[in-house]
Structure 1
Amino acid sequence: MTIHPGEGPSPRPTDWNVPNALTVLRVLLVPVFGILLMHDNGTDPWWRFWAWVVFIAAAVTDGIDGRLARARGQITNFGKVSDPIADKALMGMAFIGLSALGEIWWWVTIVILTREIAITLLRFLVIRYGVMPAGRGGKLKTMLQTLSLGALTFPLWVLPLNGVWRVLAHVLLGAALVATVVSGVDYLFKADRLRRASLAVRLTGSGPGRTE
């Protein structure tokens, strides 16, 4: 292959880019969210409102940074590691904080956070076999978790028909719990299939460029 002047492999993207900055911002917003949420035991509507604003802002950065990184070719190792950590930190703070305030049963928080930590560790364990991309179930889980946590963070008691809104928020939480468990089981099967496929390739001697 002839390489013409000016051509060659694309330079490695620098860690100093907008997607990574948004990820770092999300990490920095986690303690701010926690302080606002827990102020006065979560009884002050204005503090709860601003906690909701910070949570929504942090959640929005989660949706933007990945798209920007892919669109601009700025996917970095730092981003791959820090992005899921930022996500888990935000969701963990929300679940633990809302459970401490009595908004969410502790067993729900324990089940969901155990799943999140276990699947994150599983991804690192099977990375030698390949990458497990986020499936539809995982994306649905994230959306339902975000909607339910956002709804329960908001001071619902100041709204008309606040009892109805609270029921709807807990319905969303129930759906998020189901999606979290189901998608977690699905990831276990995906990890096993990925491991088996990788071992099969090694045993048969199939190269990465071979198709059958």
Structure 2
Amino acid sequence: MSDVPAPAPSAWNLANVLTAGRVLLVPFFAWAMLVESGDSVAGRLVAAAVFALAALTDRFDGWWARRTGQVTDLGKLLDPIADKLLVGTALVLLSALGDLWWWVTIVILVRELGITVMRFFLLRYVVLPASRGGKVKTVLQTVAIGLYVLPLFALPAWVGTLAAVAMAAALVVTVVTGIDYVRVAVRIVRTAAPGATRAARARDAS
């Protein structure tokens, strides 16, 4: 049996190429949203299609990377950046166009960026994985934003009602899971900090 380690997967495998493609879709999505100041039915439909495509590649690239053993450090870094760039752009544009209250956008973005920064600082203790609630949050945000991107002004009123209900559910789950992540992070720091302090003292005494 050979002891030669398996070669590391290429940084530019299919999963990472799809993730990078998702980043490149963001400017095109923004352009489509802003056609005729957001009042173009065709532009909004194109934006919705681009958003849906990006969301599908988000689901596929992670699954493919795990299935084929092509998980890389680049992918771990690029994937959340691509997700937050797409969601953040969509939320800001929807609010700028008057389709979504600014406070909703601010609450969601503060939560997303705050948890991302918190995860970064927790790396000294542990990698904080996405919870089941976090995954539900992602699905709800995707559905809600996808509905709001549609030309609601040209669709039956019930579509707008459905979009509002989906966004309300996404907002609640976003806040609740954010609080839960903070609770878990505090417990991790409190548990790990005494051991880290003892290790530091041992190094200082040596």
Q: Which TM-score applies when normalising by structure 2?
A: 0.92
More helix by share: 2
| SS of residue paired to 2:7 | coil
Equivalent residue for 2:163, pick from 151, 169, 172: 169
Does residue 115 in structure 1 map to residue 139 in structure 2?
no
Q: Give unpaired runs (5+ residues) of structure 1.
A: 206-212
Aligned residues: CA RMSD: 1.5
Structure 1 residue 203: deviation in Å?
7.0
Match of 1:58 in 2: 54
Equivalent residue for 2:124, pick from 119, 123, 128: 128
Structure 1 residue 56: deviation in Å?
0.3
Output the CA distance in 2 between the equivalents of 1:118 and 1:190.
Answer: 14
- Could you tell me the percent identity over the aligned residues? 48
| SS of residue paired to 2:141 | helix
Output the CA distance in 2 between the equivalents of 1:104 and 1:79.
Answer: 31
Structure 1 residue 54: deviation in Å?
0.3
Does residue 99 in structure 1 map to residue 133 in structure 2?
no
Structure 1 residue 204: deviation in Å?
8.4
Does residue 68 in structure 1 map to residue 52 in structure 2?
no
Match of 1:184 in 2: 178
Output the CA distance in 2 between the equivalents of 1:136 and 1:200.
Answer: 29
Runs ≥4 residues deviating over 3 A = 199-205
Output the CA distance in 2 between the equivalents of 1:128 and 1:82.
Answer: 20
Match of 1:209 in 2: none
Q: Which TM-score applies when normalising by structure 1?
A: 0.89
Output the CA distance in 1 between the equivalents of 2:97 and 2:198.
Answer: 56
Match of 2:204 in 1: none
Does residue 90 in structure 1 map to residue 91 in structure 2?
no
